[in-house]
Each structure stands twice: as structure tokens, then as C-alpha cells.
Structure 1
Amino acid sequence: MLLNRANILFLIVMLLSGWINAQHIFKTKTQKGFEALEIHNYFKAKQLFEKAIKKNKIAAGYGLSIIYARNNNPFYNLDSAVFYIQLADSNYVFLSPKKKEKLCEINIDILAIQHQLKHVDSLCFEKAILQHSIDGYNHFIVTNKNALQHNEAIKHRNALSFQVARDQQHSSAITNFITRYPDANEIQWAEKLLDSLIYKEYTTPLSIQNLEKFLVEQPSNAFFSIAEEQLYEIATQSKTENAYFSFIQKYPNNTHSSRAWRNIYSILTSDYNPESIKKFIKKYPQYPYLHELEKDFQLAKAVFYPFMKNNKWGFLDEHLKEVIPATYQFINPFYEGVAAVKMNNKIGFIDKSNKITVPFKYDEAENFINGLAVVGINEKFGIINKVGEEIVPLIYDEIGTTKNQFISVELDEKYGFIDRSGKLVVGLEYESVGYFNNGLAYVKKNNLYGIIDTNLYYVVKHQFDWIDNLDNDFIRVRKNELYGVINSKGEVVLPIVFQQITEPENGLVIIVKDNLYGYVNTKGDVLIPLTLPYTEGVLNWALFNNQGYARYAVDNKMGLIDTTGKKFLPALFEDVGVVSKKLIAIKRNGKWGYCDYNAKLKIPYNFSSVSFFKNGLSIASSNYKYGLINETGTFVLNPIFDNLQWFNDTFLLVEKEGLVGLISIDNKEIVPIKFKKIQLTTDKKFIQLENENELIYQPIDTISNP
């Protein structure tokens, strides 16, 4: 039906009245909700806000977030607190200015919403920190997307995830971490760890087969070079020429094939002899460093002499030309083509071209013998080869000479033997061991000595209280305070019945029994029976000299006997000295003179000391000063020197006030008396002149009597 004007007006009034009443109800619910919230009536506040949430998401959401964020009510739930404040925040932006003004009337604006949002984020982050779990951090990261702590939570989550993956110690766990969190700060560590774990998984147990597989399938792995080295170490562990060459043939592309080649060269030219180098080239024409060998060949023939300048050491060649500058704190002579040198208080090795072959890292080092050298750091010792490889790790307290097939070692006061590859062939079970000499070494166990051979078999079981060195086939032994002698087969040479037995001296040995002494040869044959009275000192002064004479005593007087026991010079003297071509040095009343072979005095007792006659002259002293006398006892060189000795057949080494020089027999100066030490080089080509800060040379053929 048609509405008249009055009806239309009434309808408008009623509509306006309904809207006004609705607004009044809305304001009342939210206001009452906040009033209830203010007095901590959380049940009523929650009920009011939930009724209003559909029509006013902002105010009601804000209120509900406050309720859920407080832990002093049963509705405490941070997830709900986040949800409702995010709901309020996301809807606020769409409000008209007029509606925003209305919200301000109940103290809600963007600042209040943001403050609550930050507060809730902070509470959620604290919860995640306390929980400290991957799920907890992930929940925060997903739920609190725009939180200030979002990146921090990601860092914590990533760090914890890496820790969990790392603790599993398996490559799959690390791979999952890298895939899941590619931007994590730990990604570099993870990638390194992944390489390590892959290497470990491939190479456990460590074997040639496993290493080969790893090298084929993991060429980009960070542990590739380590695997190459370990393959080299295992494949060449016998340290022999054949092992190194087999490695080169099987693994030509391995980085360490060059080391294998150099080790072959070192083994075959250990004596650093030109002939050895020639033989090596003939055997291995494919050697990749042939270009170096011409220089090596020339250097192998060269003789180098150490010299010192300004307290630093270097080397000169045969022309006294400086070939290695004086830059080292100390040097040893060249052995087997290399020399131990010291720099910055550490020892390394150089070759004759001054190239460093072994780095400067050792506190102690011995010379190379048969291609190996003993080295030490912090009083722990090992063995290296000429390439610088540590054949034996630095773990031992002592290591014997490397000249033998088996090398003695000591650790914690227990001794054993290793082979030349470093393998322990005789366990650390002995109280003491000796070096191998002539294929034998003594071993001590339970305070008794025995002898083993190079096959490590016992030649003599443990039975002696003491065993002498094994330098010859005359081995002295002691048992129950008595001495005897055995040979290298363990056979008895002299029974264990003697009080004393000396070392062989010029082929003869003193034996003592029942306070009598006599002489035997090294076969045990008696040359002079046990008839001579034993007195203290016999073992020192009664040994035979190289002329076949020995002192003997009667009533505290000395004479000489020959090797048959015949008295060559009667026992008439206080002491008897050297036997020269015509004269014998004799002593009476504390002074020395000379008699002939018939004991007739030829040179009176005028001297404090005398020596043998050489070319008709003898060094003698008077009042503790030395000079030269002739065969009549006349000084031809006055006794004015603190010491005097023959330097060669022509010159005399003289000493005054702690300094030495050279003179002729007629006292003409050859080298000034101003050096600390003068000696001939081993090849007798040069005179070596040494002072505290200087060591120089002078060719022997340039020195002549002025």
C-alpha cells in the first residue's frame, strides 16, 4: 500500500532511534569490558569482548589480547593474545578518521595497539627462549612474523638446529640442515663439517680401498688432500724403494707422487756419491726432476768447509769462495748431501745449494746416517728422512743410531727396537738395550743381560750381571762379581773366573785372578801367565803399547816387558814412558830423562815431562814451560810456551796465554799466536783458524818457512 507522508516520517524516526540505540549498546559493551578489565574481572571482560568482537574487531581484539597476555587469570594464552592483537592491528588501518576518533575516546589508538603488539611479541620470545627448542622457535617465527625479535629467533633456531644436526655426527643430518636453512650463519661451518663427516664415513675403517673410493667419488671434498696423503702413507708404510715406485705407478696423479720419487732418489743416493747418482739415472730415466741432477752431480763431488763470520756460520768451497752465506747460528758439516743448521733457535736441514730440505722446527737434530736422522722437540725424539717426512713420530725419550737395520728406542724408562720404517719390532719390555754392533745388541731384563742378533733371536739368554760393548768378537761379561769373555756366537772364550779383564789394547788383554795378572790375546790364548803381582793401577799403566811393550813393577819400581813376558828394561825407575828409536823415557825423583835400551842414562833427569823423539827432536818441559830438545838433551827451542805439540812433520802448534799459533822448529812464526784453535781439515788441504767470532782457512800449501 501507499505510504503517506506521516507514515514515512514515522519510519525514519524509528530507524534513527534503532541505530542510536545500537550505538549505545556497542559503546556500553566495550566500555564495560574495559571497566571490568580494569578491576581484573576477567570473566566478565572476556564475555563482553567476545560479544563485541564481530562488530568491533579492533577494540574487542585489543581487550581480548590484554586478557590472554596476562598470566594472572585462567585465560592466559599467548597464542590467543597474538591472534587478537594482530586482528586489531590489521583492521585498524581500514578505519575512517571518524571511527578512529571514536576509539580514542576509550584510549585505543595505533600507539596503544603497537605497544600491546610489541609486548605480546616480547612475551612470546621469552617463552621461546625458555623453551629453547626448534619447534618453539619455529612457532614464534611463524606466529610472530613482524616481531622485532623475529631475526633473533631465526638465529637461535638455526644455531640449535645446527647443534642437533652436528650431535648426530652423520652427513645426512648436516645435509638436511644446509638444505633447510641455506641462509644460516652456521652454513660455512656446516659445509666444513659435512666434508669431514663424508670423509669419515667413506674412510672408516681406514684402508686403501676406502680411500680410493673417496678420492674417486668426492673430488671436491675439502679433505681430498688429506685422503691423498693418507693413501700415500699407508701405501708406502714400508718406506722401501719398491713401495714408493708401486705408489707412483698406481697413483701417478696423486699429489704425493713427487714425494715418492724424491724418496726413491734419497734411498738410492743416500751416500750422496756421484756414482750413485749415475746409477739412479740409469735405473729411473723417467725421474721427473732429472734437470736437478746435473747440479746434484757436481755438488756431490764438491767439498764444503764451515766458516764463521761475525758469529754467524756458512760454508766455503774448495777455492775458499763463499757458497752459503754466514747467516746461521750454528751448522754441522754436510753428511749425505745435507747439513743440520740452526736459525732463530730452531734446527732444520739444507742441501749444498742452500735449499731448505727440512724446515726449521726442531730443538735437536743429529746428522743423517743411511738416509735417516734423529730429531727432537721438547726432549721428545723421532726420526725423519731427507724429504722431511717424520718416519717415526716424536714420542720417544731416546733413540739410538740410525746406521743399523733396527734402532733402539726408549720411552718411560722402557726400551725396545724399531725398524727403519718406524714399526716397533721389539716391544718396550727391556730395562736397557745397546746399539747393534756387528749384528749384535745387548738387552737387559730383570737386571740380567742377554744378546740378540739382527733376526731378533737370542744369541745369549738373560744371564749376566753386565755385558761389555759389542764392537768386536771379544765380549766381556760379568756374573757374580767375576769376569769372563764370550764371542759373538755366545761361545766361551775365557771362563767367568777372573777378578778383572781389560778391553783389548793393541791385541792384548790383562787378566786378573787371585791378585796375580797376566796377558791373553783376543782368542783367549795365554801369552803371559798369571805370575805378575797385581797392584792398584795395573789396569791403567800395564797395557801394551803399539810397539809391543808394557810396564811392569817390582818393589814400586817400573820397567818394561815385551809380549813374551821377557824383561826388556829392568824395573829400576819411578816410571817409564815412551820408547823412541834409540831412547826410552824414564823418571826418577819426579824428573824425566832418557836411557838407551841397555838402561844406560843418556839424557839426565832435567825435565817435568818428555815425549817421543821425532826426527831427532822431542817436546819437553821445564818449570811447566815447553820447548824442543835434541838427543843430547839440549834445548834447541827454548821452553817458553804454555803448551807445545807437533802439528805435522814440519810445524809445531804452540800456546801462550790461552791463544795458539804455528811455528817452525827454529821458532819462526808461521801463523801468529792469536787464535783460540788451529787444526787441519780432514782432507789436510787447509789449516782451520778459529776465534770466538770467526773461523777462517789457509791453504796448507801456501804455508812455508819464512
Structure 2
Amino acid sequence: MKKFLFTFIMVLMFLPTLSLQAANNSIIVKLNGDVLSFDQPPIIDNGRTLLPIRAIFEELGATVTWDSKTQTAIGEKDGKKVMLKLNNKNAQIDGKPVTLDVPVKMVSNRTFAPARFVAESFGAIVNWDSSTKVMNISFATDETVLYPIRENGKWGYIDKSGKIVVEPTYSDAKLFKYGVGAVLMKDDLGERWGLIDKTGKVVLDLAYDSIEESTEHFYRLKLKKKWGYYNVYSHKVITPIYSAATDFSEGMAGVYTDSSYKAYINRSGNEIIPIFCISDRLSYFSECVVFLSLVNEDYTYTKLIVDQQNKTLIDFDKLGLVPLFDEFHDGLFPVLIPDKDNVNGQVGFINKSGNIVKKVDYFTTINDILDFRNGFAQIKNTNPSDDTSLYGFIDTTGRIIEPKYDSVGNFSDGMAKVTVDTDKNDHSIKSEKCGFIDSSGKEVIKPQYPLVSDFVNGFASYCKLDNSYLGLTAEGFIDKTGKEILPPTYTSISSFSKDGFAAIYLEIDINTVKHGLIDKTGKTIIAPKYDEMQYYENGLARAKLDEKNIYFDPTGKVVWSEK
């Protein structure tokens, strides 16, 4: 009886910890849409989500100090001061006492604080989706876009009205992104890149060999052939020490030092997943996990799924399954369930626990790959008698669109290009007819065109057959119903922007091409008479003529011109 009571008491003592750990694995925190990553996962305490305090302070752009004597974390931003004391519900905002719902606590040598309180203290808005366990933190950021201009050989910036807001003083300048712009200074010290804000204030010292726009509010920095990052939110530099560095995906980025060492770092620059061996290319995180393919000493492969804290969730060898892709979608991952010959097998889908939750009526080989793009992967059905193949699709849930086309393109904007070859003996483009299906597999635009582009933002360009030396007309464009918006008019039409503009070019002769701009009705906004044309979404179009830059607004009015 005493032994039973002792065991029961011990279970009660550890029950909160066990339930807390179980809750942690599925919590996702987003900041203005960017998934955040932490070296320790979020925790839930009495219904409140707690995050590592330093990480969340820094992501909100606050500076962080730690008073070891009083065990107090202090975050400061724009004159606001927030103080949180370890193991205490009493906090302060600008010296005024505030009582927390749950105390600040230490977990695995990390100080955790209530996420909602910290975020809202600095003016952020917090929404919790209990069905998906996603915490969305949003706060106002100034992501003003400025446009680079050149005057007398020096570069500065204009705003959308054409007004010069940063005087031309730099040797080069790039379009603003995330509210900052990369600028170059050439002088006796050499060539140095840095970042400035819309007032012209330097926010990242001009000290780098190269600066490249990246994802999730980061820039990539290059210094002495090594790569690092700059976080626009926290203003933190991840020191350039890597021989190569990928873009961030869901708060994690792959970095390389040499062929035998790679790693994934989080947004703070901490190496979370070290890889001490030769491996295939580093995949991107998807749904807060990543696929790893590691080469062992005997040149066999170990293939795993790990989370943002480097916890292995799935070992494919132990499950006897073959991965067919490198990303989760909608909680599912495609695998091959091998036959006894270990060469062929049936396609299935597993969840993050490694359980097979669906088998589909499609069979392939262990060397096949289901390359999912926008929710669909191409599949084929090969006739063994003549080795011809027909193509269709499988989506991320295992639903199949019957393979019945001679070729297919990837899904884009909810539509996929499909091609029917009307004469297998004619290898010219004249026998090929292109149309489109939607995500249900319905043929919404009958195969009829010799050449089409993918749909982007509601429109696709097309050509028709003619008697020219290429056998094709110029390009026009159609909408998703197949309605012709513009008949064949231009040599080429670029993809449409979200706000309905597309760059065009017209071949005048074999040596001369001129560029312009049209809108989604086919109306010419800027006549094709320029050497270059680039449209910046929701802003201005930049043209170049005789090496001089010209900016137009969306009506075609010139707002600035280089003299």
C-alpha cells in the first residue's frame, strides 16, 4: 500500500510537466506572418503560452539586459521599458506595476515569460487560434518602399510621388525591402555595402562586400567570402562565418562551412541542428520540421524528419518506408511502401508520428520522386508495350487526377497546363495542343493553343499558329475562363503582378527589342519604346532609355527622369 501511495504521489508531481511537454510540440508562433523558431520550444502554463524571453524581446526589436542580482530581465524599445522578474508574477511597464497571470520561470536554463504580455507591452496585437495552436503576433512596421535613382553618377532614393527623399550620395543603391535599402560606398577604403532606412539613417554599417535581399525580414551579408545575416526586426547581425547560406524558411536557415559540416540556425543565429557528415543539399523547413538525408561512412543513407529543436520525429529506415519528397504538406508526407522486391511499391502518406494514414491507388519505384509544387505532383502511367507515358497529378492528400495527357505543367494560380499530342509522328509544335485544368481535374480551357504560359494572378499568355518562320503568332493573354483579353500583339508578355500590370516587349527587328507596360484589360500604359522595363508591385515602373532611368506611376505618368 505504501509503495502504491508513493508511486501515485510521484505521478501527480510530474503530471503537469508531462502534459506541458506534450502540449509544446505543436505550438507555432508567427510574427507578422513569419514563423519564429526557438532553441527551446514554447510551453503552456495554466493556459498561457510562454516563450524564451530574450528571443521574443529581440524579435520585437527591443534591447535586452539581465540583472543577475535581482534576477530581472529588462526589455527596452522606443522609450518603453518592461521589467520581468524570475519566479514572480509582478512585472513593470515604465515603472508601473503589473500582475501577470503566470510567473516568469526558468526551463532548461532558459527564462520564459508570458508571450501575450511581452508582445502587447510593446504595442503588438496577439491572436491565439486554439484549433491550430498558432499564436499570431502582429505589430506595425514601416515597410515604406523607396526607389533608387541616379544623379550625376551618384545614387539616392525617391518616394512614389517622385520626390527625392534620400539625396544621391552613394555609388550604388538597391530597391527598398522591409523598410530598408542596400547602398554602396566606394572610396579609399574600398567598396562597402550597408543598409539605410527611409530617412537616410544608416541602420547597418557600410562594412560588407555584398548585401542580398532574403526572406522572412532578413538580408544576407557577405564579408571576406563568408556569409551571414541581418535581422531587420531585431537589428541583429549573424556574423558572416559560413561559406554558403540559404534563405530562412519558418525561422530556420541552412548554413555550410565545408562539405563535411552543415547546420541549421535559428533566427538568433544559434546552431540548432549540426550535421557532422557529408549530406545531400539542405532542405527547407515546412510545417516546422525538415527532411534530412545523411550519408553514412559506408555510403548508405540515413533519412530523418527532425523538428526545430533537433528532435528526431521519424526515421524512415526503422519504419521500412522510402521518402518520396522532402516536405510535409497539410500534415502529410508522401512515402513508398515497398513490395517484397524492395524496388517497387505503393504510395502512401504518413503523419508526423510516422503512422501511415492513407494509401493511394498509385504504384511506382523507390527511385521515383513526387515533386510537389503548389499542392500537386506530376505522376505518369507508362504502357509497357510501347513504353509511352501519360501524365496526371497527385495532391498532398493522395487524391489522383487521372494520367491522360501527353505532358503536363506544374500547378500555378490553381491551374495546370496540359498538352495533347494530336499526331505522334509529327514532332513539330504544330501537333501539340495546350489547355488548362483546375485543381479538381476539370478541363476548363480545352487544349487548343500551341504554346501557353502558366497562369499567374489570373492571366496566362498564349500564341497561335501562323505561316511565319517560327510558325507562331505574337503573344496575347487570356483569363481563367479562356476569354481572350488581348489578341496576339506583342513578342512577349511577362507574368501579371497582383495589381494587374505586365511588362511587354516588341521585337522591331532582329537586333532591336523595345519594352513597355500593359494593364489587365490589355490597355497600353507605357508604349513599347524603352530599352528595359520593370514594374514594382503597388508602386512605380522603371524604364531605361539610352542608359537613363525613368520612373512612371501606374497611369503612365513620368514622376522622375534621369537627366
Name the TM-score class by shorter chain: 0.5 to 0.7
For residue 6 of structure 2, what is the aligned residue in structure 1?
A: none
Partner of 1:366, secondary structure, is: strand
Amino acid at match of 2:149: F
Matched, 1:472 2:329: yes
For residue 525 of structure 1, what is the aligned residue in structure 2?
A: 399
Amino acid at match of 1:241: F
1:110-259 aligned within 5 A: 240-241=56-57, 247=65
2:276 is matched with which residue: 417, 423, 429? Answer: 429
Residues 179 and 198 in structure 2, CA contact (< 8 A), matched pair in contact too: yes
Greater RCO structure (CA 8 Å; 6+ sep) = 2
1:366 is matched with which residue: 209, 212, 229? Answer: 212
Amino acid at match of 1:247: T
Residues 464 and 472 in structure 2, CA contact (< 8 A), matched pair in contact too: no
Change (3 A) 1:567 1:246: closer
Change (3 A) 1:650 1:403: closer
Cα distance in 2 for residues equivalent to 1:403 and 1:643: 33
Deviation at 1:356, TM superposition (A): 1.3
For residue 340 of structure 1, what is the aligned residue in structure 2?
A: 182
CA offsets 1:181-228 (integer angstroms, 9 cap, x no match): xxxxxxxxxxxxxxxxxxxxxxxxxxxxxxxxxxxxxxxxxxxxxxxx
Cα distance in 2 for residues equivalent to 1:485 and 1:586: 41
Consecutive unaligned residues in structure 2, runs of 5 or more? 1-51, 82-118, 125-138, 296-300, 384-388, 425-430, 559-563
Change (3 A) 1:612 1:429: same
Cα distance in 2 for residues equivalent to 1:590 and 1:669: 25
Residues 145 and 177 in structure 2, CA contact (< 8 A), matched pair in contact too: no
For residue 511 of structure 1, what is the aligned residue in structure 2?
A: 379
Residues 310 and 694 in structure 1, CA contact (< 8 A), matched pair in contact too: no
For residue 497 of structure 1, what is the aligned residue in structure 2?
A: 364
For residue 294 of structure 2, what is the aligned residue in structure 1?
A: 445
For residue 159 of structure 1, what is the aligned residue in structure 2?
A: none
Residues 171 and 185 in structure 2, CA contact (< 8 A), matched pair in contact too: yes
For residue 396 of structure 1, what is the aligned residue in structure 2?
A: 242
Deviation at 1:357, TM superposition (A): 1.7
Deviation at 1:406, TM superposition (A): 3.2
Matched, 1:410 2:256: yes
Q: Which stretch shifts more, 461-470 or 393-402?
A: 461-470
Deviation at 1:423, TM superposition (A): 2.6
For residue 130 of structure 2, what is the aligned residue in structure 1?
A: none
1:354 is matched with which residue: 191, 200, 210? Answer: 200
Amino acid at match of 1:437: S
Amino acid at match of 1:497: T
Residues 482 and 496 in structure 1, CA contact (< 8 A), matched pair in contact too: yes
Cα distance in 1 for residues equivalent to 2:517 and 2:437: 37
1:454 is matched with which residue: 272, 291, 308? Answer: 308
CA offsets 1:565-602 (integer angstroms, 9 cap, x no match): 8999999x895768999xx977599999xxxxxxxxxx
Residues 503 and 535 in structure 2, CA contact (< 8 A), matched pair in contact too: no
Higher normalized helix content (fraction of residues)? 1
Amino acid at match of 2:310: L
CA offsets 1:234-258 (integer angstroms, 9 cap, x no match): xx99555289766266799xxxx9x
Amino acid at match of 2:285: F
For residue 69 of structure 1, what is the aligned residue in structure 2?
A: none
CA RMSD of aligned residues (A): 5.4
Change (3 A) 1:300 1:306: same
Partner of 2:213, secondary structure, is: coil
Cα distance in 1 for residues equivalent to 2:484 and 2:414: 20
Residues 171 and 184 in structure 2, CA contact (< 8 A), matched pair in contact too: yes
Amino acid at match of 2:267: R
Cα distance in 2 for residues equivalent to 1:307 and 1:520: 47
CA offsets 1:87-115 (integer angstroms, 9 cap, x no match): xxxxxxxxxxxxxxxxxxxxxxxxxxxxx
Amino acid at match of 1:376: K
For residue 327 of structure 1, what is the aligned residue in structure 2?
A: 169
Cα distance in 1 for residues equivalent to 2:518 and 2:445: 36
Consecutive unaligned residues in structure 1, runs of 5 or more? 1-235, 266-277, 284-296, 593-605, 621-627, 629-640
Change (3 A) 1:382 1:263: farther
Change (3 A) 1:477 1:655: farther
Residues 544 and 550 in structure 1, CA contact (< 8 A), matched pair in contact too: no
Cα distance in 2 for residues equivalent to 1:419 and 1:644: 40
Deviation at 1:619, TM superposition (A): 4.2
Deviation at 1:304, TM superposition (A): 2.1
Cα distance in 2 for residues equivalent to 1:673 and 1:242: 48
Identity %: 17
For residue 100 of structure 1, what is the aligned residue in structure 2?
A: none
Deviation at 1:374, TM superposition (A): 3.0
Deviation at 1:682, TM superposition (A): 0.9
Residues 226 and 243 in structure 2, CA contact (< 8 A), matched pair in contact too: yes
Residues 440 and 488 in structure 1, CA contact (< 8 A), matched pair in contact too: no
Amino acid at match of 2:398: G
Residues 160 and 540 in structure 2, CA contact (< 8 A), matched pair in contact too: no
Cα distance in 1 for residues equivalent to 2:370 and 2:241: 38
CA offsets 1:658-687 (integer angstroms, 9 cap, x no match): 33246899x99964655222233311x433
CA offsets 1:240-292 (integer angstroms, 9 cap, x no match): 5289766266799xxxx9x9757999xxxxxxxxxxxx966669xxxxxxxxx
Residues 383 and 393 in structure 1, CA contact (< 8 A), matched pair in contact too: yes
Change (3 A) 1:458 1:668: closer
Matched, 1:676 2:531: yes
Amino acid at match of 2:251: Q
Residues 660 and 676 in structure 1, CA contact (< 8 A), matched pair in contact too: yes
Change (3 A) 1:382 1:664: closer
Partner of 2:156, secondary structure, is: strand
CA offsets 1:511-538 (integer angstroms, 9 cap, x no match): 224435453441223342x6x58xxxx4
TM-score norm. by structure 2 comes to 0.54
Cα distance in 1 for residues equivalent to 2:437 and 2:359: 23
Cα distance in 2 for residues equivalent to 1:613 and 1:676: 26
Residues 449 and 461 in structure 1, CA contact (< 8 A), matched pair in contact too: yes
Amino acid at match of 1:470: E
Deviation at 1:411, TM superposition (A): 1.3
Change (3 A) 1:402 1:412: same
Cα distance in 2 for residues equivalent to 1:323 and 1:455: 44
Amino acid at match of 1:439: C
Residues 245 and 260 in structure 1, CA contact (< 8 A), matched pair in contact too: yes
Residues 407 and 420 in structure 2, CA contact (< 8 A), matched pair in contact too: no
Amino acid at match of 1:443: L
For residue 554 of structure 2, what is the aligned residue in structure 1?
A: 700
Amino acid at match of 2:329: N
Higher normalized strand content (fraction of residues)? 2
1:307 is matched with which residue: 137, 149, 154? Answer: 149
Q: How many aligned residue pairs are there?
A: 397
For residue 419 of structure 2, what is the aligned residue in structure 1?
A: 551
